[in-house]
Chain A
Amino acid sequence: GPKVLQIPSHQIIDMGQMVTLNCDPVSNHLYFYWYKQILGQQMEFLVNFYNGKVMEKSKLFKDQFSVERPDGSYFTLKIQPTALEDSAVYFCASRQGGDTQYFGPGTRLLVL
């Protein structure tokens, strides 16, 4: 089926540094999402993005978070500065016009 790619698969950084998580969504998809999953817990919605704009964000999407997709390249999630509680697996998802969201394999972020 359709594949969403995420780069890198793992990232370890020091608290306070900036990190950018990259998502390569399915090529003809229009809607993009980030979710956060702390180890052993449920998946939680962070943000959705359409037509170059944030459509909706949750309370987990702190001021230190930002998303963009410059010129149809990667859909990115940037965290600046990072905090210890940002350690989690971050999943990107995309969909076309229908409702099925396709998820990437996740980026495992560890903030030390």
Chain B
Amino acid sequence: GDKVKQSPSALSLQEGTNSALRCNFSIAATTVQWFLQNPRGSLINLFYLVPGTKENGRLKSAFDSKESYSTLHIRDAQLEDSGTYFCAAYNTNTGKLTFGDGTVLTVKP
């Protein structure tokens, strides 16, 4: 939605390449979560972030609360990375997790 805007909306990568996804917030976000929704529809927790950065294997994420954005970097993309990546902003005051529209990632051999 407009409150959490993800870019790009779709992305095609060659296996082994790198890319970055972005999430811009027009709502107050105290923390951010990134998810991968796999082709079966299951949501996989990737990161939970307070302002700062985290790294897990080939994935790295950053959340800048002052500039109201978050990024997800994918290094050495693999075929199994394909799916829809969602970011979601959490506001402690409202208790709500607001999702973006998602980025559909396709990794090709």
**Which residues of A line the B interface, CB within 8 A?**
1, 31, 33, 35, 41-45, 48, 55-56, 89, 91, 93, 99-103, 105-106, 108
The listed residue (B1, B33, B92) touching A101 by CB distance below 8 A is: B33
Q: Provided the pairs A42-B1, A42-B86, A43-B88 are in contact, do residues A103 and B45 lie with their beta carbons within 8 angstroms?
A: yes
Inter-chain contacts of A93 with B (CB < 8 A): 97
Asked if B101 contacts A42 (CB within 8 A), the reply is yes
Mask: chain B, 98-109; 1 = CB below 8 Å from A; 0 = not = 111110000000
The B interface, classified by DSSP as helix, strand, loop or mixed, is strand
Given contacts A43-B86, A45-B98, A56-B95, is CB(A100)–CB(B43) below 8 Å? no
> Do A45 and B97 touch (CB < 8 A)?
yes
Give 26 CB contacts A-B under 8 Å.
A1-B45, A42-B86, A42-B100, A42-B101, A42-B102, A43-B86, A43-B88, A45-B97, A56-B94, A89-B41, A93-B97, A99-B33, A99-B90, A99-B92, A100-B33, A100-B45, A101-B90, A101-B97, A103-B35, A103-B43, A103-B45, A105-B41, A105-B42, A106-B41, A106-B42, A108-B41
> Does residue B31 face the partner (Cβ distance < 8 Å to A)?
yes
Closest 9 CB pairs of A and B: A43-B99, A103-B43, A100-B48, A99-B31, A42-B101, A105-B42, A99-B90, A42-B99, A45-B96
Q: Does B30 contact A (CB under 8 A)?
A: yes
A-B contact count (CB 8 A): 52
Count residues of B near A (Cβ-Cβ below 8 Å): 23
A91 near B43: Cβ-Cβ < 8 Å: yes
Give min CB distance, A46 to chain B, whole Å.
11
Q: How far is the CB of B98 from chain A (nearest CB, A)?
A: 7
CB contact between A55 and one of B31, B33, B48, B95 (< 8 Å): that residue:
B95
Question: What CA separation (Å) do A41 and B104 show in the bound complex?
Answer: 11
